[in-house]
Structure 1
């Protein structure tokens, strides 16, 4: 297996492996001046419109200026955030992000009157404004929907001004994780191996050599354990902030407040977690036992769950090869979509380099008014190909939405956000499956679907969601949390799901420390929600339904102008029932059965 070398500094990596932030802000050294001007313009806007909205025409005139200011705000703040994400150890980027964050708070403080003043108007005036200009239908719908929870204008303004402080738990978490955690090398049989956050999550977790893999897990867990109390304190601060804000706005619970933003009812949220915890668990335990048998393990441990079923048939994949795989995979989406993916490859939308200080994991940032930006850390694995396809799914979603929708209409509910991304993973798996009839190749493709697409989205994130629900329940009961409590809650979830089939290795309980999504509300459960939708849609494609692609592209272009349930229904999936989720769980079970059968054939 290729072993990751010591990480390079950001200034040492190949420029072609980095994204081009010049497309966002061509003259980066002027960004401070841009933000200073935006503050001035926002304050002029506040003076011109605050407390002066009395008619539908006033509303439209105000929103047109607001829209232009907000588009600039998104571009500048995105630039500062992405520059920090590429290297959180960069002192200049840290200071610039802090300065832009302070300036952004001033801008949002000046703009905060918009929601307050609109919410204070009679509904009839807002509805008249919607008829005058359909551009703002969704924005005004949300104003009306949030009216019962709107705080006093001065309170809203104060909260906007305090946003850098209120957002600090996430910033502290990322700094601790990406900058302060320096991992020592670890040793196996007299040989030392390099360790880092990225090396563990992208290499050592997947290492087929059991001694190395388990030693790496022990070493990694020991280092993050050193930071568990600080990380728990930061996380508890985030939780108490969310609870306080929910109570101030009049919500009965923090869960209800976070779901309100997503246009999701509590029963839909609970069903997603409960059904997977009970009905998917038996299938995944079978998969764990298949791994144990294939590798001849003495016992199946938590440290063994991410290994490939057939490591010897898991070749290295270059970026050039990955691009060919993905371009062929998305061909069913049409020429425009393929061209978008090609542009991402050709024009440096993607940051591949696994350098020191880089944010872990992967994401796609899609600022309105510019193309998306994708962050990954490339290690020449098929796992990376699926991750890149996933993030390009986000990019394709927002390129389509931004073409048809304004900035206020383009972003759908978080509940739906992972459907387009996981759809691309399904297309990639389908393309690979059709490219070769060899039984071993077929097993390799299916195992990648199970271990990457479904394990990551339907198991890893779902277990995090089940844990997160336990945490929020405690917070709603007026309690606080610390590291021992969080460790115990996470271990409970792991033991409930894996039962006696997987030994929950010491250190597994610290997995809660690895997830930044906990600082983004109820995000983790939405991965399985999105994958439920994309599984159902992709099965229609595989079965030859010629209407699917046109319907799906229309869904992408609809942006946030419909609720997540309405978007799913446009794609032919009714999430108001449990049928799509049950069918998806059954599909995963069938894939694991097929893996068992193919393995039996290959072992003969």
Structure 2
């Protein structure tokens, strides 16, 4: 739940601001803005296509039909300015309720006003920043973006008294409010407040923790500065024998080289550099773990992991179940590594060979119009209503299609409640861009159905659910492409593309999640997280996940030092659960037809009106059991079997 508009962070984390697929070559503009954080998205990529250089058009040269229609949010700047003034006035109104939230009538009026001001602020913020993303160099849009950020902070501060003040009521009073018919619309908000109450401290203690907030950001900030600004890598030779400086951005390009020597040299140069900083980086990660333990203890949680899961009301068994079930299927990963070694014609498969192309680059030149047609066709299993909305998005200028000078890179889906969602692309005529299109439209239609079928408070779905709809679209597109493919070379290219999504998004992210769990448990038991201990844990996990068919090079033991997600603790497991849930949905839809489609559409329409686990379970995907992960693994096994058949 989001009981009031938080400053910038909450708006940027909105379920309707969602990023590109793991398979995409474009770094996410949501959670992976730049620098070191782009590493992890790059590591999730299956293929990076080298694109020809071309002249980028100016925004004014972009045809109208290729631009999104932001006039559906505000017809003109004057309308935005008028709404901005209105929000300014409402800030004074919301603060007038401070100290008065003692009865159902006052709380109902305050909540209603809170909804109005939150929605208007969201609209202001989304419009201003999408205008800014059209051309980031345009000064007037920069100013508009800054103005929207400032008003969102003002609103967040003005409404920040609401939750603490209501939580100051006794449990008996809260229970009475939940049962009050006049607050029926806000029952879930109040229930969630009551659930959180045991972990809310006194006013003075909360104030003290709030003041410590900036200090708590220090580990991640220091890591980011060291990794992005201060860490320098040596020069390595490329395929042409030229010495080129190694950077975060070039690293994956080197690993995709057909020359194993180039791959090995880049790999060793990367981890030799991190090794020289191992004491500093271990101290930084240790500080982040210590911070998590401090907050868990202060807020009376049994562990840091349970604290991180509590907000979405996800039992720890879901996290543990993911790890244990993936362990059951590690032989499949080992089998894929053996196949990779065979396809690459190598005597030994090393860690630096994981991104080497398994087949010759297959030229799939796909225009935007062709991509729309293929995406529309591939989503036929979801029914006529779904595709009608999809077509509405294609025809109704929901999408900003091509790159222009100054346009924000990457791709995302975003929007504000009360209007249709929007999608930003930087389309190129290739396979990645087609998958990016279906991925982002998956997000867009999830938001569309969620907004259409829920009140404002219940419309926003959680991050735990956010990647399901987008990844399901990708799965259905891949299934369609594989069914129609008659060229063995094309089919192998597609199978490789898909299999590597399983490797990077399910297995790799689960390994990360297991590493996080182990190091936090060791810290909670009073053990020291020395560089040697961190490296030993990480190396042993790689041995387990990749198997005997892989030479697990000693250098990989330092990889923990370059993963930015470890500073957003216990987050990465959501990539694996989301991918597994989506694959399970896709399998059910293709196997069962209409009954499974109806359940899935029910999922899209549920928004955030219940806890994530319950919403998925009602739709037929019970993430508290191993079944969805097993269904995903059965698809992975089918891919491997098809690849093995093609190599005979």
Report if TM-score (shorter chain) is over 0.5: yes
Shift in alpha-carbon separation, 1:241–1:127, aligned structure 2, 3 A: same
CA deviation after TM superposition for structure 1 residue 272, in Å? 0.5
In 1, the alpha carbon distance for the partners of 2:81 and 2:215 equals 20
Check conservation: 1:411, 1:560, Cα contact below 8 A. yes
Larger relative contact order, structure 1 or 2 (CA cutoff 8 Å, min sep 6): 2
Counterpart residue number, 1:139: 189
SS where residue 262 of structure 1 aligns?
A: coil
Counterpart residue number, 1:538: 586
In 1, the alpha carbon distance for the partners of 2:55 and 2:276 equals 25
In 2, the alpha carbon distance for the partners of 1:295 and 1:198 equals 24
Shift in alpha-carbon separation, 1:308–1:570, aligned structure 2, 3 A: farther
Check conservation: 1:4, 1:199, Cα contact below 8 A. no
CA deviation after TM superposition for structure 1 residue 145, in Å? 1.1
Shift in alpha-carbon separation, 1:282–1:512, aligned structure 2, 3 A: same
Are 1:525 and 2:573 an aligned pair? yes
- Structure 1: which 5+ runs fail to align? none
Q: CA RMSD in A?
A: 4.6
Check conservation: 1:207, 1:307, Cα contact below 8 A. yes
Query: Normalised by the size of structure 1, how large is the TM-score?
Result: 0.81
Counterpart residue number, 1:258: 308
In 1, the alpha carbon distance for the partners of 2:498 and 2:138 equals 37
Shift in alpha-carbon separation, 1:336–1:266, aligned structure 2, 3 A: same
- Structure 2: which 5+ runs fail to align? 1-47
Check conservation: 1:138, 1:408, Cα contact below 8 A. no
Counterpart residue number, 1:51: 99
Counting matched residue pairs gives 594
Are 1:313 and 2:369 an aligned pair? no
* Per-residue Cα deviation, 1:260-294 (whole angstroms, up to 9, x for no partner): 11211112211101221x22221111111111111
In 1, the alpha carbon distance for the partners of 2:466 and 2:449 equals 13
CA deviation after TM superposition for structure 1 residue 295, in Å? 1.6
Shift in alpha-carbon separation, 1:132–1:84, aligned structure 2, 3 A: same
CA deviation after TM superposition for structure 1 residue 444, in Å? 3.5
Counterpart residue number, 1:415: 464
SS where residue 557 of structure 1 aligns?
A: helix
Counterpart residue number, 1:267: 317
Check conservation: 1:139, 1:409, Cα contact below 8 A. no
Aligned pairs for 1:564-579 within 5 A:
564-579=612-627
In 2, the alpha carbon distance for the partners of 1:515 and 1:26 equals 43
Aligned pairs for 1:138-157 within 5 A:
138-153=188-203, 155-156=205-206
Are 1:107 and 2:155 an aligned pair? yes
Check conservation: 1:263, 1:413, Cα contact below 8 A. no
In 2, the alpha carbon distance for the partners of 1:34 and 1:222 equals 55
| Deviating more after overlay: 87-96 vs 53-62 | 87-96
SS where residue 418 of structure 1 aligns?
A: helix
Query: Normalised by the size of structure 2, how large is the TM-score?
Result: 0.76
Counterpart residue number, 2:177: 126
In 2, the alpha carbon distance for the partners of 1:370 and 1:429 equals 30
SS where residue 99 of structure 2 aligns?
A: coil
Check conservation: 2:321, 2:625, Cα contact below 8 A. no
CA deviation after TM superposition for structure 1 residue 62, in Å? 1.0
In 2, the alpha carbon distance for the partners of 1:53 and 1:541 equals 48
* Per-residue Cα deviation, 1:296-319 (whole angstroms, up to 9, x for no partner): 124212222234432343535454
| Deviating more after overlay: 321-330 vs 26-35 | 26-35
Counterpart residue number, 1:60: 108
Are 1:456 and 2:507 an aligned pair? no
